Amino acid sequence: MANISELEKLRQHFNSGITRPYNFRKDQLKKLKASILKYEQELYDALYTDLKKSPEESWVTETGMVIAELNAAIKNLRSWMRPERAGTNLLNMPSRSRVIKEPLGVVLIIGPWNYPFQLLINPFIGAIAAGNCVVLKPSEFALATDAVMKKIVQDVFPPEYVLYVQGDGAVVVPEMMNNFSFDYVFYTGSTTVGKIIYKMAAERLVPVTLELGGKSPCIVESDANIKVAARRIAMTKFSNAGQMCVAPDYVLVHESVKDNFMATMKETVQKFFTDKPEENYNYCKMINERQFNRVAGYLSNGKIVYGGRTDKEKLFIEPTILSDIPPDAPVMNEEIFGPVLPVIPFNTMEEAKAVIDRHPNPLSFYVYTSSNKKEKEWLETVPAGGCCVNNSSWHLTNHHLPFGGRGFSGTGNYHGRYSFETFSHKKAVMKTPTWFDPNIKYPPFKGKLKLFKWVIR
């Protein structure tokens, strides 16, 4: 647990100006990259211990994503830091205008347990690229990964620059936020906890990014490529045993292709994970018993058409497909965050939209269709944090795109340049020469109204 004196040391360190120069920031990014690569194997082992992730899955969804973000930041940092030219209106001529990106100060980043490395370190990259001092609070539920991340950070960063804080988030975070004014808070996790973070931040007028979750819908239209849709939905829904904020939460499939979709999904899941997913190299486990019990409870909410086996001792829940689900069932009213996929038929867009509208502004929205017209209609009809067409979840891995939610799925965004901008303040600067100083701008103003109207129009 951090004490207030440790947090004040970060403030003093930031105020010294040491974190502001380009060369300092770039060096810190390089140090972080070298430290991650040094502990790469330990990260693989830790992620397997916590979630049973294979090295391949860990690379694609955790380590590799972070290295890609680091490479982009190292390559583009100078251009990101460069002041932006801005126009100047007639009223302020002959002034010149620009926007300067300056660091915010001391920022707090709170990570989740489902992608414990990537979802803590990716925003961290943006924070140090932007020139801030940082407090990192990892999830206490992914203990093995937490231990390796502590090594990675403390090997290269002094605590007055980057403070790594472990412990129970329900105790540690309020202790820090209620006794120290951070300049920014970045939280990834549940909507329930996000509301608590938001409220604590509001008490001190601290700005936030909230990366939350929700029920991300997936549409399979009548003209979709069913084989491709099944592969891409199965891959992303059951990756990390469904413990992913951008996983398709449920599928709305057109009635005309429902049977084909169901049959293809069952065949695809069996091919990906075999008849014994608990022994499969490619299939993960639930993080802990609490999450196991919660997700296992959904299995009775509908008709099981595939899967359904569980083993609490192994924290195993088989990839499961449900049908015939009552609208008021918990599985359709709570974020699933596990390997259970409800499939619901629809005939018209209005029917499908009525289901989606029960949980508006999802973090992600997916539509499978061969029609540009249907694609356009769906994208315009469903507000969401981000979208994929004929794909699911992979927009998360593209650091050229902003990633974030809206409404109950979050506020703010990050990734690549957007991470740098999230942890920067855009300062407006206007420089006015002294050689031109017309009297029209000064009192007395009587008789100048017509001229003022012309200038401002």
Helix (H, G, I), strand (E, B) or coil at 229: helix
Beta carbons within 10 angstroms of residue 141's beta carbon: 17
Give the Cα separation of 399 and 131 in Å (integer).
20
Return the CA Rg of the chain: 25
CA 178, distance to chain mean position in Å, is: 25
Adjacent-strand bridge partners of 305: none
Name the nearest CA neighbour of 132 among 152, 108, 112, 99.
Answer: 108
Helix or strand (DSSP H, E) at 366 = strand 364-368
β-strand pairing of 340-346 with 250-254: parallel
Name the one residue in this structure whose structure tokens are 């994503």: 65
β-strand pairing of 310-311 with 316-317: antiparallel
Q: Which of 62, 69, 211, 221 is catalytic?
A: 211
Q: Which of 245, 284, 387, 388 is catalytic?
A: 245
Give the Cα separation of 7 and 401 in Å (integer).
33
Six token digits for residue 41: 């194997």
**211 in active site:** yes
Name the nearest CA neighbour of 230 among 390, 457, 36.
Answer: 390
> Given its phi and psi angles, is residue 415 left (phi above 0), alpha (psi -120 to 50 degrees) or beta?
left
- Report the residue count for the chain: 457
- The DSSP output letter for 415 is S
Helix (H, G, I), strand (E, B) or coil at 251: strand
**387 in active site:** no
Six token digits for residue 43: 């990260």
Give the Cα separation of 171 and 396 in Å (integer).
30
Give the Cα separation of 385 and 377 in Å (integer).
17
Helix (H, G, I), strand (E, B) or coil at 77: helix
As annotated, the active-site residues are 211, 245
